[in-house]
Amino acid sequence: MAKMELRLAGSGGQGVILATVILAEAAVIAGKQTAQSQSYGPEARGGSCKAEVIISDEAIGFTKVQHPTFLMALTQKALETYCHNLPEECIVLIDDTLTAPEELKGHNVIKLPILSTAAEKVGKAFTANIVAVGAINGLLHLVDHADLEKAVMLHIPKGTEALNLAALQAGIAMEGDVKKPAKAAKKAKV
Amino acid sequence: MGKTVLMQGNEACVEGALAAGMRLYAGYPITPSTEIAEFSAVRLPQVGGKFIQMEDEIASIACAIGGSVAGVKSMTATSGPGFSLKQENLGYACLAEIPLVVVDVQRAGPSTGLPTSPSQGDIMMARWGTHGDHPVIAIAPSSVSEAYNLAIRCFNLAEKYRTPVLFMMDEIIGHLREGIEIPDHVEVIDRPTVDYPDAKRMPYQIKEGQLVPKMAAFGEGQRYNITGLIHDESGFPTNSTEEAEKLVTRLMHKISDNYDDIVQVDQVNMEDAEVAIVCYGGTMRAAITAMEKARAKGIKCGIFRPITIWPFPERELLAASEKLKKVVVAEHNYGQIVLEVERIIKNNCKLGFVGKVNGTVITPEEILAKVEED
Amino acid sequence: MIDTSNVSEKTVNTSDLIYKYMRPEHLPHIWCPGCGHGIIMRDVAQAVENLGLDRDKVVLVSGIGCSSRAAGYMDFNTIHTTHGRAIAFATGIKLANPELEVIVLTGDGDASAIGGNHLIHAARRNIGLTVIVMNNTIYGMTGGQYSPTTPRKAFGTTAPYGNLDRAFDLAGLAYGAGASYAARGSAFHTQQTIQMIQEGIRHQGFSIIDVASVCPTYFGRKNKKGSAVDMLRWQKENSVTVEQAKKMTAEQLQGKLVIGVIHQVQYPEFTFEYQKLIQRLAKEREE
């Protein structure tokens, strides 16, 4: 697997940091190299926040994401904050309630109903990050879904296993909605 | 080997400390070291150890020294402002020869500075922060694995040499999560203990073949005296000029005479290197990528990374500099270790510097630019 | 004046006490002639003797200042720490090994100026330390500067026109901060002070005994208090018991030294509670 540099952005409290921790955990379970870091301080408590995870088969030197291969944004503000200077090949996943800015024209922008799936299908809005984790793995095939499931189970409160499993499955299932990212990008409204 | 788990640098520091035998932690909340206190609070009572949140940074190091005096391996952790506050008692532990580990997860200063941003601005304070001439051992980890393994080494050196050891982490490593392999077995060194009744009344005497005076825990029956005043072998204060010189000289030499045991340096691709990046701690990660890029461009680049910052690996650097065309020092400050490097390499080769004080991380490209510069 | 005639005299010969509990090779002490600290140091030895404590399990922790030298003169596990931090060091010792009897010997400046934060928090935490303050209302070691317990209008080298600050009532301060045992003794009232030190050591929790000492060299001279004997006589003649004080008005209490137990209550001790936590977690793991 080529080195994947993922940046996840949202508003504080949406759980994007945990989402990157889970992806990093899954990478470790799968025997891959990983480096996860996040923005700290006031922005992690309400403003736009970002978290990053690098996953690779090779040892990781610099631990910060420099050339994102993937960006996910769950709020319009986070999207507009972090959409700049993305490499051409960077895949952008946004919630379907967001509007991709002009700057992302030519990018592979995928819209998926992450927030509404969590709130309506799964029934709990706070599971959006787990839905997202499933969707990301569905799109990028970072690890086996089984390893991802193990990682999710390590990072959720006791008693919420069934709920989070449902969220994860719902996210993974979104892969069906996006057969090929390249085609999806053409369909996506930009 | 043991299993691989995902861990944050600060958590790995605690787990390493526990593996080394830490059973008392005293601390005060401060970003970006707070997770060390939080993990200690969870883990210590699970293994029969003690965690205490003290009223301030000064009390925290004092409490940890007290714990060590009572025979329990103790640690405190902090960040820049707290490290400033701990300096007086750090000197106390140096003089009274109390084993102790002090972690500083460095953040951008001066003063309150940029609390959540990375820095390596405390590296000279680690050496010279407390007043008076004193020995010091300081170690810096460059990965989460090292946060674990070097935390163990900090305790081992503290116990072996009866001295505080400074674990100079930084925000980059403290808050980084990586997979780390937890070893099934770790080497643990304990302080040399007293053979009764031999050492009675002469607690600071060193016999033939001993590195440091043997140390009894309070309550074991030795009933000795510990003081921050200059003292003789009896442990009691003295105004003797001879004793003062003898004590300070012995303290300095117990570290400098054991350079080979204490100093560790990581040299990467230095065999054929013409340019060396000198870096430590979290900056190493940018240096690795910079070196790879330089090599791809045909530049014979290597990395010289002190793992032990103090004492500084000057013998190795001097030897390396004789074969180099250039050294590029990269550190997250306005120029601290670069002064030490400049002193050591003399005019053997050129010297370049990449420093940063704006709270962002030095990038591989910034280092590469200096490597490529004529 | 407090009647001391009915206090039983079970004192051991002073020389015997010295040989048993002091380190004669480190005597004579450095205190000035007439200093009250020596009397208080002897009170501590007497209290330990009366309680029959195992000396190997007694730890004396001191800070910096005249009072701090007491630790080195006494034959226990002794540690002379940094200025103001004795209570914080003692907290680590007690936490690491709760079986030890940890006694802090401190002064008014050490305990309540530079170390005031540690004093109130140790009291709040109710950790089982016994803090004995040798309160001479002055910084003696540095030559007579006013301290947090120097009375208003009194003189010191840094209060050349009379002290403008108000004085701390240390036993009251510790009580307010949550100390479960707070008492006041004096260099003159040795029998009562020995009794309070014994109670303080026996007490499960944080205890403080604020002992009024005398400093004829600095406080006495600066404030024209006469000789050491005059200053001790003043303690004798101007003291009232806690019980007597309860019946007196604020005006009547002006300039009086209130001797006795100010406050005593049973409250869970910190290291005991921590031990319970460890046991609870161990049990949960087994289940």
Q: pTM of the prediction?
A: 0.95
Q: Do chains B and A touch (3 or more CB pairs under 8 A)?
A: yes
* Contact flag B70-C100 (C-beta cutoff 8 Å): yes
* Contact flag A35-B176 (C-beta cutoff 8 Å): yes
In angstroms, the Cα distances linking B148 to A26, B8, B15, B191, C140 are 21, 10, 6, 20, 48
Specify the 3-state DSSP secondary structure of C273.
helix
Which residue in chain B is spatially nearest to A34 when comparing CA positions? B178
CA distance C207 to chain B (A): 18
Distance of alpha carbon B150 from alpha carbon B139, whole angstroms: 8
The interface residues of chain A toward chain B in range 9-48, judged by CB-CB distance below 8 A, are 21, 24-25, 27-28, 31-41
CA distance B144 to chain A (A): 10
Q: Is C56 on the interface with B (CB under 8 A)?
A: yes
Residue C265 inside a domain? The answer is yes
Domain locations along chain A: 4-187
Q: Is B232 on the interface with C (CB under 8 A)?
A: no
Q: Is C175 on the interface with B (CB under 8 A)?
A: no
**Pick from A112, A109, A128: which is nearest to A120 by CA?**
A128
Residue C6 inside a domain? The answer is no
Selected for mutation to probe chain B from C26, C77, C114, C124 (highest B CB count within 10 Å) is C77
* Predicted pLDDT at A49: 86
Selected for mutation to probe chain A from B8, B177, B362 (highest A CB count within 10 Å) is B177
pLDDT band with cut points at 50, 70 and 90 for residue B207: confident
Q: What is the CATH number of the domain that holds C170?
A: 3.40.50.970
Domain count along chain B:
2
Asked if residue A71 lies in contact with residue A157, where contact means CB atoms within 8 angstroms, the answer is no
Query: Among B172, B175, B292, whose Cβ lies nearest the Cβ of A61?
Result: B292
Asked if residue C87 lies in contact with residue C45, where contact means CB atoms within 8 angstroms, the answer is no
Q: Is B179 on the interface with A (CB under 8 A)?
A: yes
Distance of alpha carbon C94 from alpha carbon C117, whole angstroms: 18
Q: Which residues contact C230 (CB under 8 A, 6 or more apart)?
A: C220
Q: Which chains touch C (3 or more CB pairs under 8 A)?
A: B
Residues of chain A neighbouring B6 (CB-CB closer than 8 A): 21, 24-25, 28, 34, 36
Residue B212 inside a domain? The answer is no
Query: Is pLDDT at B233 greater than 90 in this prediction?
Result: yes
Mean pLDDT of each 10-residue bin along chain C, 287 residues long: 54 80 93 97 97 97 97 97 98 98 98 98 98 98 97 97 97 96 98 98 98 98 97 98 97 96 97 98 93
In angstroms, the Cα distances linking B124 to B26, B84, B258, B338 are 24, 12, 21, 11
Residue C57 inside a domain? The answer is yes
Distance of alpha carbon A183 from alpha carbon B116, whole angstroms: 41
**Of the given ranges (A39-48, B31-40, B159-168, C276-285), which has the lowest mean pLDDT?**
A39-48
Q: Which domain holds residue C70?
A: 14-286
pLDDT digits (tens), chain A, 190 positions: 789 999 999 988 899 999 999 999 999 999 999 999 987 655 555 577 899 999 999 999 999 999 999 999 999 999 999 999 999 999 999 999 999 999 999 999 999 999 999 999 999 999 999 999 999 999 999 999 999 999 999 999 999 999 999 999 999 999 888 755 444 444 444 3
Residue C201 inside a domain? The answer is yes
**Pick from B177, B178, B173, B179: which is nearest to B32 by CA?**
B173
Phi-psi region of B292 (alpha: psi -120 to 50; beta: other; left: phi over 0): alpha
Residues of chain A neighbouring B115 (CB-CB closer than 8 A): 41
Q: Which of B181, B204, B221 delimits the end of a domain?
A: B181
Select the more confidently predicted residue: A179 or B343.
Answer: B343
Distance of CA A163 to the CA centre of its chain: 19
Residue B354 inside a domain? The answer is yes
* Predicted pLDDT at C232: 98
* Predicted pLDDT at A187: 43
Q: What is the CATH number of the domain that holds B43?
A: 3.40.50.970
Query: Is pLDDT at B177 greater than 80 in this prediction?
Result: yes
The bridge status of strand C207-212 relative to strand C239-241 is unpaired
* Contact flag C121-B74 (C-beta cutoff 8 Å): no
Please report which helix (H) or strand (E) contains residue A111, including its range.
strand A108-112
Which residue in chain B is spatially nearest to C86 when comparing CA positions? B62
* Contact flag A34-B115 (C-beta cutoff 8 Å): no
Distance of alpha carbon B245 from alpha carbon C210, whole angstroms: 39
Residue B26 inside a domain? The answer is yes
Q: Which of B163, B181, B199 delimits the end of a domain?
A: B181
The interface residues of chain B toward chain A in range 5-34, judged by CB-CB distance below 8 A, are 5-6, 31-32
In angstroms, the Cα distances linking B5 to A151, B177, B272 are 11, 10, 35
Asked if residue B219 lies in contact with residue C97, where contact means CB atoms within 8 angstroms, the answer is yes
Q: Which of B161, B181, B201 delimits the end of a domain?
A: B181
Q: End-to-end distance of chain B based on CA atoms, in angstroms?
A: 45
Which residue in chain C is spatially nearest to B228 when comparing CA positions? C81
CA distance B1 to chain A (A): 14
Beta bridge partners of B114: B108
* Contact flag A62-B172 (C-beta cutoff 8 Å): no
Query: Among C79, C82, C88, whose Cβ lies nearest the Cβ of B54?
Result: C88
CATH fold for the domain made of A4-187 = Pyruvate-ferredoxin Oxidoreductase; domain 3 (3.40.920)
Residue C91 inside a domain? The answer is yes
Distance of alpha carbon B150 from alpha carbon C28, whole angstroms: 48
* Contact flag C96-B229 (C-beta cutoff 8 Å): no
Residues of chain C neighbouring B71 (CB-CB closer than 8 A): 96-97
Distance of alpha carbon C48 from alpha carbon C53, whole angstroms: 6
Count of C-beta atoms within a 10 Å radius of residue B343: 10
Q: Is B292 on the interface with A (CB under 8 A)?
A: yes
* Contact flag C75-B220 (C-beta cutoff 8 Å): no
Which residue in chain A is spatially nearest to B363 when comparing CA positions? A62
Q: Which residues contact B226 (CB under 8 A, 6 or more apart)?
A: B69, B96, B98, B203, B235, C78, C79, C80
Rounded to an integer, the average pLDDT of B224-239 is 96
How large a percentage of chain B has pLDDT more than 90? 94
Domain count along chain C:
1
Select the more confidently predicted residue: A190 or B60.
Answer: B60
Residues of chain B neighbouring A37 (CB-CB closer than 8 A): 172, 175-177
Query: Is pLDDT at B210 greater than 60 in this prediction?
Result: yes
Q: Which domain holds residue B355?
A: 266-372
Q: Do chains C and A touch (3 or more CB pairs under 8 A)?
A: no
CA distance A156 to chain B (A): 15
